[in-house]
Amino acid sequence: MARTSHATQLLILGTLLLVASGCKQPDERWEPPLEETSTRVIQSRVEEALQLVRKAQGEIRSNPEQVEESLNGAVRDMERLSKYHLPLLEARERTYNAHRFLYYRERQRAITELEAVEDILDRVAATGGTALQPAMKEPLDLVSEAKAAVMGDSENAPDLVKSLAIKLNFMALKGRLALPDDWPPSK
């Protein structure tokens, strides 16, 4: 086997170093705003609604007037899920997406996600009536601030998006405390 000359070895080493330095890899990995998230609120609401439906099933013959109360409670739990908890979880997910896109310098995709979050929160506020409008003010303000920061390429944009994600996570988990007992309002 022929020996490789010293110059050839240096040329190969130099080429390898150039190729390796040309690969774009971030110095750090993206980390989500929160490591611990949960859907236990959703699971709890579904279990409560199912218990009320089962209770109504058991009372159909023996206690018909109690059936309506149980079914109304189940409907209320399902409405809370569809009008509050699920939209907030989607908003939180899209905020995480925006945070990740921002990290990878995909500003337009981050803005698109934040616009979707704003639409979701506007719908929750509109659907929730006067009971939810004050609760939606802070996260909607945070979305506006975050969007402006991302559009302006501000260095505090990631922190604002992270604050929004944390706020939405808290709102989703603590929804039972924020929502009045009679919410959503009867039609």
Interval 134-149: pLDDT, tens: 888 999 999 999 999 9
On the question of pLDDT at 16 being above 70, the answer is no
Q: Is residue 162 part of a domain?
A: yes
* Closest alpha carbon to 84 in 186, 185, 180, 172: 172
CB 164 within 8 A of CB 142: yes
Q: Is residue 16 part of a domain?
A: no
Number of domains in the chain: 1
Q: Is residue 110 part of a domain?
A: yes
CB 163 within 8 A of CB 145: no
Q: Is residue 70 part of a domain?
A: yes
Which residues form the domain of 165? 38-178
Residue 50: the pLDDT is: 81
On the question of pLDDT at 163 being above 90, the answer is yes
Write the burial class of residue 29 (CB in 10 Å: 0-12 exposed, 13-18 middle, 19+ buried). exposed
Note the pTM of the prediction, 2 decimals. Answer: 0.72
94-140 confidence digits (pLDDT tens): 999 999 999 999 999 999 999 999 999 999 989 887 878 888 899 99
